Amino acid sequence: MGQSGSGKSTCMNIIGCLDVPSDGTYLLDGRDVGQMNKNELAEIRNELLGFIFQQYNLLPKLNLIENVEVPLMYAGVSRAERRERARVALELVGLGDKLRHKPNQLSGGQQQRVSIARALVGEPAVILADEPTGALDSRTGREVLGLLQSLHAAGNTVVLITHDNSIAVQAQRIIRLEDGHVIYDGPADAPEAVVTPKVSGGEGGRPA
């Protein structure tokens, strides 16, 4: 959690093996990410990580099942197996009746569900969600957040990046960043976990 420029995206890129740390050590499943080459980084991303982005990043010419299959194609999974695993993942997010639809036939919330299915299809150890509700209206955002909470309850580790207090407090743990530094790491229900927005001062510095 943190405001724009606090280091959230950099932190996520390091966790997700998209960037390597310039200092210190990051171990993922006991392996030193900083010592890996590009091929090794790509392999560990495919094995252990699932990504959910704010803008969905779906391929418009592919139907839903084909979109969800994409990570499995890179992993060398057979066509029959990846088709079945994509179908199961789409059913899990409530889109089992829309397998042949194209992304432009779906609402924003449904497209985000497809991106969640794509993240799940590789059975990752960690799901990284970068502002997954940022492009959605409040009701649809709550639905997507509820789905992520269900996945967590089922045993998935979910790392969610947000600047929204109302979303952050629904987690079990908050790591708050400011200017690239961790300034809080602990339970979400602790008083110091959430920042109180600063109010512009009027005369004498009193709240306007």
Contact (CB, 8 A) for 51 and 117: no
Tell me how crowded residue 203 is: count the other CB atoms within 10 A of its CB.
6
Q: Give the pTM.
A: 0.82
For the chain, give the percent of residues with pLDDT over 70.
93
**Residue 36 region, left (φ>0) first, then alpha (ψ -120 to 50), else beta?**
beta
Q: Minimal CA–CA distance to 124: which of 84, 157, 88?
A: 157
| 8-31: burial string, b at 16+ Cβ within 10 Å, e else | bbebbebbbbebeeeeeeeebeee
| pLDDT over 50 (residue 203) | no
Question: pLDDT tens, 144-194?
Answer: 888 889 889 988 899 999 888 888 888 899 999 999 999 999 999 888 887
Beta strand 181-187 with 157-161 is: unpaired
Question: What pLDDT, on a 0 to 100 scale, did the predictor assign at position 22?
Answer: 87
CA atoms of 6 and 181, how far apart (whole Å): 8
Provide φ and ψ at 81, rounded to 5°.
-70, -45
Name residue 160's beta-bridge partners.
Answer: 129
Taking the mean position of all CA atoms in its chain, how far away is CA 70? Answer: 17
Question: What pLDDT, on a 0 to 100 scale, did the predictor assign at position 49?
Answer: 93
CA atoms of 67 and 88, how far apart (whole Å): 13
Number of residues that this document lists for the chain:
208
Question: pLDDT tens, 80-98?
Answer: 999 999 999 999 899 999 9
Tell me how crowded residue 200 is: count the other CB atoms within 10 A of its CB.
7
